[in-house]
């Protein structure tokens, strides 16, 4: 697998020599976090054939069976504090869409904040973790993409909500080609971030399928209905409530009416 990934990354790519492949690991995010502590450079990537403890957002797990998906984490180092990187999660999502599109011809949508969706179903997800370092911040961008699954390969509890590149009719949905394209897209976006976040946020808004939709926000055990109207400069979702007020949402679960079983 590692050779298949490297075969698709140009020799001149600065991150080519920083790719590690593991047949099986607990979580590629945890592996990269451990490498970051030992001083691993910007661009270090860990890709696994399967994960035994794949992590999702909000403390959930990410189903990571062998031979069917891409599980990849990349270390990005920034010379700033974590609170200056709130838009990074949007940048990672745009890079993921760029990479999947380059590898397969299919551009996923983004369900705020970081679900990759196609045909109204979840194709993958992104877990961004930030860790303070003496010289700035380490960002661990973990991307999981369902590549070869058929519907019956998903566990019953997510079967109706999940899809794969193969199910969406993507050309060449191999984890190796998607991994190579994602690495290139992440490197490009990490450069673009140094020259200003505006174009990335504009692209995020184009890809974000949550905008304009009726949503249900679950925060601190309460469900509130609103309409998603914008994405803030920090990547927050701006929602307009029934009383006409707008508020920014930075965390929590947001369901879109008509998706993932929410009617
Ligand atoms: C989500 O859907 O909530 C985010 C899923 C992120 C999954 C990826 S797979 C590679 C990396 N390692 C992990 O443990 N999680 C991320």
Is the distance from the beta carbon of residue 69 to the nearest atom of ligand 1 less than 6 Å?
no
Find the helix or strand (DSSP H, E) in which 187 lies. Answer: helix 175-194
Can the peptide bond before residue 236 be classed as cis, meaning omega within 30 degrees of 0? no
Q: How far is the CA of 241 from the centre of ligand 1 (A)?
A: 31
pLDDT score, position 262: 61
Q: Do 60 and 34 form a contact (C-beta atoms < 8 A)?
A: no
Tell me: the pLDDT tens digits for 34-58?
999 999 999 999 999 999 999 999 8
Question: Quick one: what percent of the chain has pLDDT higher than 90?
Answer: 77
Is the distance from the beta carbon of residue 190 to the nearest atom of ligand 1 less than 6 Å?
no
**Which tokens belong to 195?**
């020259």
Tell me: the pLDDT tens digits for 222-255?
888 999 999 998 899 999 999 999 999 987 788 8
Strands (E), 45-106: 45-51, 69-78
Is the distance from the beta carbon of residue 73 to the nearest atom of ligand 1 less than 6 Å?
yes
> How much is the average pLDDT of 147-171?
94
Checking if the pLDDT of 172 tops 80, the result is no
Checking if the pLDDT of 260 tops 80, the result is no
Tell me: the pLDDT tens digits for 71-124?
999 999 999 998 888 889 999 999 999 999 999 999 999 999 899 999 999 999
Checking if the pLDDT of 263 tops 60, the result is no
Higher-confidence residue of 193 and 124: namely 124
Q: How far is the CA of 243 from the centre of ligand 1 (A)?
A: 36
Distance CA 38, CA 31 (A): 11
Q: Compute φ and ψ for 81, nearest 5 degrees.
A: -80, 155
Q: How far is the CA of 71 from the centre of ligand 1 (A)?
A: 7
């Amino acid at each position: 697998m590692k050779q298949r990934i490297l075969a698709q990354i140009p020799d001149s790519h600065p991150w080519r020599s920083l790719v590690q492949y593991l047949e099986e690991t607990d979580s590629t995010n945890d592996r990269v976090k451990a490498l970051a502590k030992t001083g691993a450079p910007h661009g270090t990537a860990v890709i696994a054939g399967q994960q035994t403890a794949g992590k999702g957002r909000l403390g959930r797990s990410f189903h990571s069976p062998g031979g069917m998906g891409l599980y990849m984490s990349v270390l990005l180092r920034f010379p700033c504090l974590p609170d200056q990187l709130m838009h990074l999660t949007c940048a990672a999502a745009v890079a993921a869409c760029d990479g999947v599109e380059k590898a397969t011809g299919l551009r996923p949508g983004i369900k705020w904040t970081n679900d990759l969706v196609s045909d109204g179903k979840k194709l993958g997800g992104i877990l961004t973790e930030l860790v303070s370092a003496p010289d700035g911040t380490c960002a661990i961008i973990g991307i999981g993409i369902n590549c070869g699954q058929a519907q019956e390969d998903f566990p019953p509890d997510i079967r109706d909500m999940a899809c794969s590149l193969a199910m969406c009719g993507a050309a060449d949905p191999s984890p190796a080609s998607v991994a190579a394209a994602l690495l290139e897209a992440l490197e490009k976006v990490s450069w673009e971030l140094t020259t200003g976040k505006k174009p990335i946020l504009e692209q995020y808004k184009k890809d974000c399928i949550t905008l304009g939709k009726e949503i249900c926000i679950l925060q601190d055990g309460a469900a509130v209905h609103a309409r998603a109207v914008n994405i803030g400069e920090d990547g927050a979702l701006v929602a307009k409530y029934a009383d006409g007020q707008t508020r920014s949402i930075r965390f929590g679960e947001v369901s879109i009416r008509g998706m993932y079983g929410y009617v």
